[in-house]
Copies of this chain bind each other. A is one copy, B any other.
Amino acid sequence: MIFITRRERFNAAHRLFRIEYSDEQNLQVFGKCSNPLWHGHNYELFVTVKGEVNPETGFLVDLKVLSALINDRIIEKLDHRNINLEVDFMAGRLASTENISIGIWNELEEEVRKLGAELHCVKLYETENNYVEYYGNAQR
């Protein structure tokens, strides 16, 4: 069993809020992240997959294929987008780093399996000071 990680990046706008809250309530709960006129981030995404090394290639997965998959399914949807308004898998969900990470996991889990590997971890940096890791339903 070996683990390989690919880093990709996307730049997106979002805000944290609940539609049923007043602006004041949103400010109280979500602070400046609730700004109704949006703010944004350079997100850094690390996707880790696991499995056995293919003795023919020396690879767990072909990183070009893994990178293309992440770009097709995730980066295309998020990069230079408004996460609250434009991303299908985030519709109706709070655009927190936690929820984006879970959303990315759900988009990738089956697709990684088709590559002959298993998704192990989605790690998402919102800033240099904060990141979320999600390992699916499995206990780490």
Stoichiometry, copies per complex:
6
A31 at the interface (CB under 8 A from B): yes
Q: In the complex, which residue of chain B has the Cβ closest to the Cβ of A139?
A: B1
Q: How large is the interface on A (under 10, 10 to 19, 20 to 34, 35 or more residues)?
A: 35 or more
Contact: A40 with B39, CB < 8 Å? yes
A89 to chain B, nearest CB (A): 14
What's the dominant secondary structure at chain A's contact region?
A: mixed
Contact A33 B101 (CB under 8 A): no
| Chain A 82-111 interface residues, beta-carbon cutoff 8 Å to B | 82, 85-86, 93-99, 101-102
In this complex, the member of A31, A37, A39, A95 whose beta carbon has the largest number of chain B beta carbons within 10 angstroms is A39
Choice from B35, B59, B95, B140 contacting A3 with Cβ under 8 Å: B140
Q: Is the CB of B82 within 8 A of A39?
A: yes
In the complex formed, the residue of B with least CB distance to A97 is: B4
Which residues does chain B contribute within 8 Å of A82, judged by CB atoms? 35, 37-39
Would you call B35 and A132 a contact (CB within 8 A)? no
Contact check, A57 vs B12: say whether CB atoms are below 8 A apart: no
